[in-house]
Amino acid sequence: MAKPKVFVARQIFQEALDMIAAEAEVEVWPDELPPPRDVLLQKVADVDGLLSLLTDKVDGGLMDAAPKLRVISQIAVGYENIDMKEATRRGIPVGYTPGVLTRTTADMAFALLMAAARRLVEGAEAVKAGKWKTWHPLHFLGPDIHGATLGILGMGRIGLEMAKRAQGFEMPILYNDVIRRPKEEEEQYHMRFESLDTVLKESDFISVHVNLTPDTYHLISDQELDLMKPTVVLVNAARGPVIDPKALYRALKNKSIGAAALDVTEPEPIAIDDPLLTLDNCIIVPHIASASVATRLRMSTMAAENLIAGLRGEKMVNCVNPEVYQR
């Protein structure tokens, strides 16, 4: 029997490609940049399975162009690039990679917090530029991290890991989310559930970990930034559009907040002439919070497992829309 066909929209770990190749005829998009839309539509024309990335728009148009498509496997925990209604309507299971990147992403969010507070990027750049002339009592000052109040917006898997990391720095935690964590957990990690406004007003550091939904789009804009302390360090390792970038620029430029450290931006990649890139008090890295070797390997193999389950007509373990199996 002929093997099913699969399009893998970017190079992933070879271990994962080998797993897929044992079951299917695989084409891998070799370029660093995503396939252009017309090419992607062409590539999926006769595939049974698609392994997609956040950067690939998987909408009804793509599904129309892929009449044989019976599984989509996304190598990410987020899937806002996929039209889930369309996939579910067509009975196509969509896989994703939850859990495996939680701690790695929290590690990075904490690294960003520390880097922005202690001005690591500015300091390193100054050294490279030959500007280290002397030790000076007033050079490169920033806020202490230990003992400071950490505000966490979105206390899901990654938010909770952030809270755990903060324990080592003796940071009391204020948090806001649509649901509250169990009391025992709040006590264990010194967390207090508060209104959004209170978290914004009372935190020395704020780390954003909400999903991007219509409700969280520009959750942080002028009004919210105005509530924050003038020294606050704002971290975003969730999704760029949760923070209004124009409002953030104004707040950083006017020093109405202290600093920001972003793993994600709106749009991605950020334009080279974006004013945020002109600011010393803003660190931006290219959406790499999950980029440890072990985590990206596990994301790759997990995406392969989901894809293979879909090709075999088996239930995938990590499925965004398990309701497709009820039919």
- Give the distance from CA 111 to its chain's centroid: 15
From residue 18 to residue 57, the character string flagging contacts with ligand DGY as x (rule: CB under 6 A) and all else as - is ----------------------------------------
Stretch that binds ligand DGY, among 32-40, 71-79, 192-200, 243-251 (CB under 6 A): 71-79
Q: How far apart are the C-alpha atoms of 142 and 52, rounded to whole Å?
A: 41
**SS3 for 313?**
coil
Assess 219 for contact with ligand DGY (CB under 6 A): no
Q: Is 72 in the site for ligand DGY (CB under 6 A)?
A: no
Restricted to residues 137-196, the positions that interact with ligand DGY (CB under 6 A) are none
Q: Around Cβ 148, how many Cβ atoms within 10 Å?
A: 20
Q: Is 76 in the site for ligand DGY (CB under 6 A)?
A: yes
**Nearer to ligand DGY by C-beta: 101 or 284?**
101
Cβ atoms 295, 104 nearer than 8 A: yes
Q: Which of 52, 102, 290, 301 binds ligand DGY (CB under 6 A)?
A: 290
| Residue 103-142 contact track with ligand DGY, rule CB under 6 A, x = bound | ----------------------------------------
| Contact yes or no for 60/280 (Cβ under 8 A) | no
Contact between 98 and ligand DGY by CB under 6 A: the answer reads no
Report which residue type is found at 185.
Answer: E
Query: Which CB atom, from 101 or from 308, has the smaller least distance to ligand DGY?
Result: 101
Stretch of 31-39, 70-78, 176-184, 211-219 contacting ligand DGY, by CB under 6 A: 70-78
Can residue 101 be called a binding residue for ligand DGY (CB under 6 A)? yes
Query: Least distance in Å: CB of 10 to ligand DGY?
Result: 13
What is the rounded CA–CA span in Å between residue 1 and residue 24? 11
| Residue 12 touching ligand DGY (CB under 6 A) | no
Rank residues 77 and 199 by Cβ distance to ligand DGY and give the closer one. 77
Which of 34, 65, 78, 322: binder of ligand DGY (CB under 6 A)?
78
Q: Is 77 in the site for ligand DGY (CB under 6 A)?
A: yes
Q: Tell me 264's DSSP state.
A: -
Q: Can you tell me the distance from the alpha carbon of 29 to that of 12, in angstroms, rounded to the nearest whole number?
A: 10
Of 101 and 148, nearer to ligand DGY (C-beta) is 101
Selected range binding ligand DGY among 73-81, 201-209, 211-219, 278-286, rule: CB under 6 A: 73-81
Residues 327 and 266: their CA atoms lie apart, in Å, by 38
> What order do you get walking across the sheet with 25-28 strand by strand?
25-28, 5-8, 49-52, 71-74, 94-95
Letter for the amino acid at 213?
A: T
Catalytic positions, please?
239, 268, 287
Question: What is the C-alpha to C-alpha distance for residues 131 and 136, in angstroms, rounded to an integer?
Answer: 12
Q: How far is the CB of 76 from ligand DGY (least distance, A)?
A: 3
* Helix ranges, the chain (H): 14-21, 37-43, 60-65, 84-89, 102-117, 120-128, 157-167, 183-188, 196-202, 222-227, 245-253, 293-312
Q: Which residues bind ligand DGY (CB under 6 A)?
A: 76-78, 101, 290
